[in-house]
Amino acid sequence: MPIIEHHQFIKASIKVCFDLARNVDIHTQTTSKTKQRAISGVTEGLLENGDCVTWEAIHFGIKQRLTARIIEMEKPHKFVDIMVKGAFHSFVHTHEFFEKADGTLMIDKFQYKSPFGLIGVAADKLFLEKYMRAFIVSRAKALKRIAENVD
Task: Please report which confidence band the pLDDT of residue 151 belongs to, taking 50, 70 and 90 as the band edges.
Answer: low
Q: Which residues in the chain belong to E strands, given as ranges?
A: 3-10, 37-41, 52-59, 62-74, 78-85, 90-100, 103-113
Residue 115 DSSP symbol: S
Do residues 93 and 2 touch, judged by C-beta distance below 8 A?
no
**Percent above pLDDT 70 for the chain:** 99
Contact indicator for 84, 52 with CB cutoff of 8 Å: yes
pTM of full prediction above 0.85: yes
pLDDT tens for each residue of 31-48: 999 999 999 999 999 999
pLDDT band at 120 (very low <50, low <70, confident <90, very high): confident
Q: Mean pLDDT for the chain?
A: 95
Ordered alpha helix ranges (H), the chain? 14-21, 24-30, 117-123, 129-147
Q: Which of 128, 150, 111, 146 is nearest to 28 (CA)?
A: 146
* Overall average pLDDT of the 58-86 stretch: 96
Chain-centroid distance, C-alpha 40: 17
Q: How confident is the model at residue 1, as a pLDDT? A: 79
